[in-house]
């Protein structure tokens, strides 16, 4: 879809579409794995909200290229201003069983440290021991305000939210790595990226039969064995 903006905006869109291409690569090798690209934009933020359903389990991928902070780390102010808090909460409230993953080149202390520690708590009474440090406790309290959750709600949320910090080159390498044994890995990577742009723009559902047709139409052939 068209967006206004400079080079950073275009880099963000490319990053989002490359991650969608990676999901396409995974779906080629997995039965019953359906991808729903749900890209959306506001005046201040662009997020690729990719929903994947595999064997009945829903996973939301919130793909955001980099934090706007100068240190390229997602602090809670950025999570709020870029509407990630709002989107993550909306997804969680819509489906409490869904896994929710933030994907970015930038890391996030709240998700990768605080939430992981909190998962060791059975109840809110266990949180001070589980969080281990004053800094983590302060971040927890701040997150309660940012998400408008109490301890019980945030603990449930923290157990469903995780993060993947992936540089762009690693995403591209992962796609090619999946297809290296079959050959034509670079051609497949380029095709999946082009189709991801198209599907993201049109919000087109992607399943294995679509992927097989793309490969056939593009003249890409390899030994599928039992695929």
Strands, DSSP E only, in the chain? 33-37, 40-41, 46-54, 57-63, 99-104, 161-165
Domains of the chain: 7-106 (3.40.1350)
Q: 117 pLDDT band (50/70/90 cuts)? A: very high
Check: CB of residue 21 under 8 Å from CB of residue 27. Answer: no
Outline where 29-133 has alpha helix (H).
Answer: 76-81, 84-94, 109, 116-118, 127-131
The confidence band for 49, taking pLDDT boundaries of 50, 70 and 90, is confident
What's the burial of 196, exposed, middle or buried (CB within 10 Å: 0-12/13-18/19+)?
A: buried
pTM: 0.89
Higher pLDDT pick, 162 / 43: 162
At 185 the three-state DSSP class reads helix
Record the tokens describing residue 75, joined without a space.
Answer: 């602090």
Residues in the chain: 227
The CB density around residue 68, as the number of other CB atoms within 10 Å, is 17
């Amino acid at each position: 879809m068209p967006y206004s903006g400079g080079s950073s905006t275009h880099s963000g869109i490319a990053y989002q579409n490359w991650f969608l291409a990676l999901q396409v690569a995974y779906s080629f090798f997995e039965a019953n794995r359906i991808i729903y690209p749900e890209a959306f934009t506001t005046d201040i933020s662009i997020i690729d909200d990719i929903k994947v359903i595999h064997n009945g389990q829903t996973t939301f991928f919130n793909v955001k290229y980099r934090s706007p902070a100068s240190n390229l780390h997602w602090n809670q102010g950025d999570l709020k201003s870029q509407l990630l808090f709002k989107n993550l909460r909306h997804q969680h409230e819509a489906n409490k069983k869904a896994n929710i993953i933030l994907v970015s080149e930038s890391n996030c202390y709240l998700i990768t440290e605080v939430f992981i520690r909190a998962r060791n708590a059975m109840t809110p009474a266990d949180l001070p021991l589980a969080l281990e440090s004053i800094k983590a406790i302060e971040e927890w309290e701040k997150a309660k305000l940012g998400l408008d959750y109490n301890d019980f709600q945030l603990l449930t949320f923290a157990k469903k939210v995780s993060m993947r910090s992936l540089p762009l080159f690693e995403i591209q390498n992962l796609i090619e790595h999946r297809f290296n044994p079959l050959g034509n890995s670079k051609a497949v990577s380029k095709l999946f990226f082009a189709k991801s742009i198209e599907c993201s723009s049109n919000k087109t559902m992607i399943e294995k039969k679509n992927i097989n047709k793309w490969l056939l139409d593009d003249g890409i052939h390899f030994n599928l064995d039992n695929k």
